[in-house]
Amino acid sequence: MASKVIHAYFNDDDILMQAVKKVKAAKHHIEEVYCPFPVHGLDKAMGLAPTRIAITSFMYGCLGLTVAIVMMNYIMIEDWPQDIGGKPSFSYIENMPAFVPIMFEMTVFFAAHLMVITFYLRSRLWPFKKAENPDVRTTDDHFVMEIEVHGDEKGLMTLLQESGAVEINKVEK
C-alpha cells in the first residue's frame, strides 16, 4: 500500500528551521528534509538521535594500533631480528620508541578508511546508486520537508503555508 506524503518547499534555511520546529510542535512526523547544504541544528530540531560514528572510529583506531603492535613484534622481534644502528632487537618494549610513528600511522589509517567504509554502508551509498532526492532543486537552492500524512491533512497544509512554504505538493510514495 502506497502512503501519501506532503512535500513542502522552502527557499530559506532559517524559514525551514522555524517550520521544522512548528511541525514538530504540532506532533507531526517529519520523514526527511532534503537540503542543498548542511543546515546547522536541523538534526536536533528534527529530533534525530546523535551519531555513533565517533565510537566506531575509536574502535577502528584501537584495531589499527593492535595490528601495528602485533605486526611489528612479529616482523622485527620474532621473525627476523636485526641489529639496526647498534640497537639489538631483544624485546619489543626496548625498541618501542622507534615504532611509535608506525603505530600512529596504522591507527589513523585504520580509523579513517574503516570509518569511510562504515559511513557509506550505513548510509546505503554504494556505486551506481540512483539519487533519492525528490526534486532536482534540492541540489541547488530549495529545501524540501517530507511529512507523512496521518489524519488532519488540511490542517497540516495550512500549518505549512503559515510556516513559509513556497510550494506544497501531495505525493504518493
Question: Where do the domains of the chain lie?
Answer: 4-49+140-172, 53-122
Counting DSSP H helices and E strands in the chain, the numbers are 5, 4
38 conformational bin, left if phi > 0, alpha if psi -120 to 50, beta if neither: beta
The yes-or-no verdict on residue 15 having pLDDT over 90 is yes
Provide the pLDDT for residue 153.
84
Provide the pLDDT for residue 98.
82
Cα 19 from Cα 26, distance rounded (Å)? 11
Provide the pLDDT for residue 93.
81
Residue 7, SS3? strand
Q: pLDDT, tens digit, for every residue of 123-171?
A: 888 888 888 888 888 888 999 999 988 878 888 899 999 999 999 998 8
Per the prediction, the chain carries an average pLDDT of 89
Contact between 5 and 160 under an 8 Å Cβ cutoff? The reply is: no
List, in order, residues 6 or more apart from 159 with CB less than 8 Å away.
Answer: 22, 23, 26, 28
Q: pLDDT, tens digit, for every residue of 106-128?
A: 999 999 999 999 999 988 888 88
Provide the pLDDT for residue 2.
62
The yes-or-no verdict on residue 71 having pLDDT over 90 is yes
The yes-or-no verdict on residue 1 having pLDDT over 60 is no
Task: Over range 12-27, report the average pLDDT.
Answer: 93
Q: Would you identify the CATH topology of the domain 4-49+140-172? A: Alpha-Beta Plaits (3.30.70)
Give the cell for residue 34.
Answer: 532534503
Residue 84, SS3? strand
The yes-or-no verdict on residue 57 having pLDDT over 70 is yes
User: Of all residues in the chain, what percent carry a pLDDT higher than 70?
Assistant: 98
